[in-house]
């Protein structure tokens, strides 16, 4: 039962609860019209302290497609935050108006602070370089639908594995499925953080290797998860410039990969995937973005506990 709960990191839901969510997402994908009034009279607040197009639009589209409404801000300077209001005060106030809140914040753990101060469900839409659990739901749903399973897979994660919050969340979530092995492709400076290596990979005895060469890893992969080197996470511009073009996936490199390897990317991309790859049937990232909206619809419905309000079709 997910009603009333917050979703701050992938492990907040059990594998079974996550599967229930995916089954609901499957139903929504099959017949979206049936769910167009399930959130009538409900209000979603989007508190975006950091720029976002995709995630914010995805949440807003999800709520609107469920018949609900949306309030919020997309940059903190247009809200009381600019006056120095704390996260806890903001969420307490927002909870007076809205039924559910989505928060993105540059500081790691900010959604947890918010959730501790309110009774309404809080969804983490990305906190600094830490976690991005709804992107993980998106990634898992894409793998599940396009591969037919989440398990028995060799997953390659490439690029910024240090500050890439989608990477941290995905590794955590995948650690609970059977026969997953990881190939972590990154320069030395952008390796996964210590807590991911120690607390997730080593603790769960997951097979993983850390490499710098993308070409050598490609033939072994079932899934390649590309990430952008994020300028906003660097304190030093020189480091960003030095590392930003380290990995570029192009058509020539795709020839090294398996026929059925899927390419995922949380988007936005800059130049880490060449546009010539877009037409390759193995490129799944735009499809992935669409699945993201559906799984967020399923998440909002489940946290609000509005299942059973579907439109009847005869």
Binding footprint of another protein on the chain (CB under 8 A): 86-88, 105-110, 112-113, 116, 127-130, 193-195, 198-199
> What Å distances lie between residue 258 and 175, 221, 267, 270, CA to CA?
23, 7, 23, 24
Q: Which is nearer to another protein, 87 or 224 (CB)?
A: 87
End-to-end CA distance of the chain: 28
- Burial class of 53 by CB neighbour count within 10 A (0 to 12, 13 to 18, 19+): exposed
**Vertex 186 angle, CA 180 and 187, to 5°:** 155
> Does residue 167 contact residue 131 with C-beta atoms inside 8 Å?
no
Q: In whole angstroms, how close is the CB of 301 to another protein at the nearest point?
A: 28
Q: In whole angstroms, how close is the CB of 114 to another protein at the nearest point?
A: 9
Q: In whole angstroms, how close is the CB of 21 to another protein at the nearest point?
A: 24
Q: In whole angstroms, how close is the CB of 46 to another protein at the nearest point?
A: 19
Q: What span, in angstroms and rounded, lies between the C-alpha atoms of 233 and 43?
A: 32
Q: Which is nearer to another protein, 85 or 278 (CB)?
A: 85
> Does residue 136 contact residue 10 with C-beta atoms inside 8 Å?
yes
Q: In whole angstroms, how close is the CB of 196 to another protein at the nearest point?
A: 8
Q: Which is nearer to another protein, 65 or 105 (CB)?
A: 105
Q: Which is nearer to another protein, 11 or 256 (CB)?
A: 11
Secondary structure letter of residue 310 according to DSSP: P
Q: Which is nearer to another protein, 129 or 159 (CB)?
A: 129
């Amino acid at each position: 039962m997910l009603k009333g709960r917050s979703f701050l990191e992938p492990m907040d839901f059990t594998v079974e609860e996550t599967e229930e969510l995916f089954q609901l997402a499957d139903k929504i994908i099959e017949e979206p019209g049936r769910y167009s009034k399930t959130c009538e009279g409900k209000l979603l607040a989007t508190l975006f302290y950091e720029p976002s197009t995709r995630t914010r639009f995805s949440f807003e589209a999800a709520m609107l497609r469920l018949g609900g409404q949306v309030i919020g801000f997309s940059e903190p300077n247009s809200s009381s935050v600019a006056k120095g209001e704390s996260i806890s005060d903001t969420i307490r106030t927002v909870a007076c108006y809205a039924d559910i809140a989505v928060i993105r914040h540059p500081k790691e753990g900010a959604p947890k602070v918010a959730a501790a101060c309110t009774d309404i469900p809080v969804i983490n839409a990305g906190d600094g370089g830490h976690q991005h659990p709804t992107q993980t739901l998106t990634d898992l749903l894409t793998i599940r639908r396009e591969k037919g399973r989440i398990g028995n897979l060799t997953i390659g994660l490439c690029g910024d594995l240090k500050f890439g919050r989608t990477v941290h969340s995905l590794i955590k979530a995948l650690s609970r499925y059977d026969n997953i092995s990881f190939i972590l492709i990154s320069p030395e400076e952008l390796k996964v953080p210590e807590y991911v290596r120690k607390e997730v990979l080593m603790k769960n005895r997951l097979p993983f290797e850390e490499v710098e060469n993308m070409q050598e890893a490609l033939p072994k992969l079932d899934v390649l998860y590309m990430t952008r080197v994020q300028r906003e996470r660097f304190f030093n511009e020189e480091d960003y410039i030095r590392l930003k073009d380290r990995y570029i996936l192009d058509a020539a490199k795709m020839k090294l990969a398996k026929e059925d390897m899927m390419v995922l990317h949380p988007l936005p991309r800059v130049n880490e995937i060449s546009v010539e790859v877009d037409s390759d049937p193995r490129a799944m990232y735009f499809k992935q973005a669409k699945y993201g909206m559906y799984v967020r619809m399923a998440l909002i419905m489940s946290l609000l506990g509005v299942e059973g309000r579907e439109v009847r079709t005869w």
